[in-house]
Amino acid sequence: MATSLETDLIVIGAGPTGLFSAYYAGFRGLSVAIVDSLPELGGQITAMYPEKAILDVAGFPSVKGRDLVAGLVAQAETAEPTYLLDRTATGLEADQDQVTLHLDDGTVVTAGAVLITAGIGKFSPRPLPAAEGWLGRGLAFFVPDFAPYRDRDVVIVGGGDSAFDWALHLEPLARSVTLVHRRDAFRAHARTVEAVRASAVEIITKAEVTALIGGDTLEAVEITVDGAVEKRPAQAVVAALGFVADLGPMKEWGLELDKRHVVVDSAMHTNLPRVFAAGDITEYPGKVRLIAVGFGEAATAVNNAAVAIDPAAHVFPGHSSEGS
Who contacts 17 (Cβ-Cβ below 8 Å, separation ≥6)? 117, 119, 278, 279, 280, 291, 294, 295, 297, 298
Residue 75 annotated in ligand binding: no
Phi and psi dihedrals of 68, rounded to 5? Answer: -60, -45
- 3-state SS of 63-80? EEHHHHHHHHHHHHHCCC
Residue 20 annotated in ligand binding: no
Residue 96 annotated in ligand binding: no
**Do 279 and 209 share a structural domain?**
no
Write the pLDDT tens digit of every residue in 193-242. Answer: 999 999 999 999 999 999 999 998 999 999 999 889 999 999 999 999 98
**Do 14 and 82 share a structural domain?**
yes
Residue 235 annotated in ligand binding: no
**Do 250 and 119 share a structural domain?**
yes
pTM (predicted TM-score)? 0.77
Are 16 and 291 in contact, with CB atoms under 8 Å apart? yes
Residue 44 annotated in ligand binding: yes
**Do 252 and 119 share a structural domain?**
yes
For position 323, what pLDDT does the model report? 57
Write the pLDDT tens digit of every residue in 63-118. Answer: 988 899 999 999 999 999 999 998 999 999 999 999 999 999 999 999 999 999 99
Q: What's the CA gap between 256 and 242, in Å, rounded?
A: 26
Q: Establish if 262 belongs to a structural domain.
A: yes
Query: Containing domain of residue 230, as a range?
Result: 127-239
Residue 17 annotated in ligand binding: yes
Q: Establish if 324 belongs to a structural domain.
A: no
**Do 229 and 289 share a structural domain?**
no
Residue where a domain terminates, one of 184, 207, 239:
239
Residue 36 annotated in ligand binding: yes
